[in-house]
Amino acid sequence: QQQQPPYGAPPPHGAPPQQGYGQYQQQPPYGQAPPPNQQQPQYGGAPPPQQWGQPPPGAAPYGAYNVQPTPASPGYDPAQKAWVQPVDTSADIETVRKAMKGMGCDEKALIKVFTSPKYANPWTMAQLVRDYNSRFIRDLAKDIESETRGDLETTLLALLRGPLENDARVLDKALNRMGTDEDALNDVLLNRSNADLRAIVAEYKRIKSRDLLTDIKNDVDDTLFRLYSMVLAGHRAEDATPVHPAEIDAKVTELQRATEGTIGVNAVSVAQVLTSSSPAQIHAMAEAYSRKYHRDMQEVIEKEFRGDMEDALLNLVQAAQDRARADAARLREPLFKSKRKDTLFINRV
């Protein structure tokens, strides 16, 4: 049985190069390398030169280094199934079925099976679902929906569907309500790898038969839409991209000119720089900004932006500087609000 390494820990020697859900992982979709110099078109077609998402004149394209793409997170690439050994699910599927038969539901039994380390890998959980459906000629997801309610139902469905399908369904819910849930959009889409994002876009299309970016465009303002367009374009620098001081200095200068160095603020330029940079590059930019302009880059963003755009940009900067701390702070905040947002916790399972 294959075990995933702890959050933030490197994989064991000889293990396939995969990481935990939500970490910075990048690779072409489903194990395929992109053609050299491939450019992915923006929403609505290929943009003209120097449109948002493109580097400034005279600069090297952001992330234009011959580096190894980082693998997708577990559950986002079907090729990963070749690395996962099948497990014996026979006793567990009997336990699950028994828990939902007759009057009432044995919720503790369901929780024990679904949260077992045995099924920590999404592909092993997928095997449990397949084996249950085959053994009893039933649909496990529908049985869960029928027998459970509330947050427990949502959590169990998230576990059995796996992180990829759950991401797509969280996005659908965030865009399918009175008022867009930008927190959910940020939680799913920001600080993700190119590989994960491509898989999410494809999964959303599979489930909803609609284009994700089109649905986002219909729900958010133009500036925030441009930021998400850049994110979903999948041009973020790979984790292995070198951090070159000259490039970092150029990006820092561009950020200053787009914020403190101008009347008003050029939100698109700021989004362009941050969404195209790797976490290591953003971390280096924050340090370089402080040295060069004697001001904290995060404080500059807080001063120059408001609302959803501020939240999205701070999300990118804070996660790059300390991902675990940023996640902990983001999960802690809803606990002190009158209306708790437990979905942020559920998305982490």
Domain at 128, CATH number: 1.10.220.10
Identify whether the C-beta of residue 167 lies closer than 8 Å to the C-beta of residue 76: no
Residue 5 lies in a domain: no
Residue 136 lies in a domain: yes
**What is the CB neighbour count within 10 angstroms for residue 222?**
9
Q: Distance (Å, rounded) from C-alpha 267 to C-alpha 252?
A: 14
The predicted model scores a pTM of 0.79
Name the stretches of the chain with pLDDT < 50: 1-63
**Tens digit of each residue's pLDDT (9 = 90 or more) over 232-284:** 999 999 999 999 999 999 999 999 999 999 898 999 999 999 999 999 999 99
Q: What is the pLDDT of residue 216?
A: 97
Q: What is the pLDDT of residue 340?
A: 58
Strand partners, 230: none
Of 286, 291, 288, 287, the closest CA to residue 301 belongs to 286
Residue 107 lies in a domain: yes
Identity at 68, one-letter amino acid code: Q
Residue ranges making up the domain that contains 96: 84-148
Residue 27 lies in a domain: no
Q: What is the pLDDT of residue 307?
A: 95
Residue 239 lies in a domain: no
Residue 143 lies in a domain: yes
Residue 134 lies in a domain: yes
Per the structure, the count of domains in the chain is 1
**Tens digit of each residue's pLDDT (9 = 90 or more) over 132-157:** 999 999 999 999 999 999 999 999 99
